Structures are given as structure tokens and as C-alpha cells.
Amino acid sequence: MSLKAFHVLFVTASTLLAAGVAFWAFQQAPGEGMGWLGFGSVGAAIALPVYGVWFLRKTREVSFL
């Protein structure tokens, strides 16, 4: 597995993890203080795919193998 393929896989897994943490944080009781974690995770779940597209465009000539 190339470094590029691993990078894409890691960004995808991180995005899914951030979305899951955001969902979990918003399911907690409002008094638990998890709002900051939820909003931070939503921000990460939005920023990571944007970064992933930027990375794929930048490394267009590099093979996945």
C-alpha cells in the first residue's frame, strides 16, 4: 500500500470517526458540556474531506500503487 493510498484511507477513517463523535456528543445530556466537542467534531468532519480533495488534486500524478 502506497503512502498516498494510506493517506486517503486515514483521512476517510478520520472523517467517519469525527462524524461519529459529533453524533455521540450531541446525544449526550445538554448539561454534560459536550456541545463544544460536538461542534468541534462537526468542524473536523467538514474540514477533513475538503483536505482530502485538496490532497488528491495535489498528488494527481502520483500512483496509488
User: What is the per-residue pLDDT for 31?
Assistant: 74
Residue extents of the structural domains in the chain: 3-58
Grid-cell match 461519529, residue found: 20
Confidence of residue 16 (pLDDT cuts 50, 70, 90): very high
Residue 21's alpha-carbon distances to 5, 9, 45, 56, 62, in angstroms, are: 24, 18, 10, 25, 32
Smallest CA-to-CA distance from 38 within 58, 23, 50 is with 23
- Tell me the per-residue pLDDT of 20-61, one tens digit each, with 9 for 90 and over: 999 999 998 777 778 899 999 999 999 999 999 999 999 999
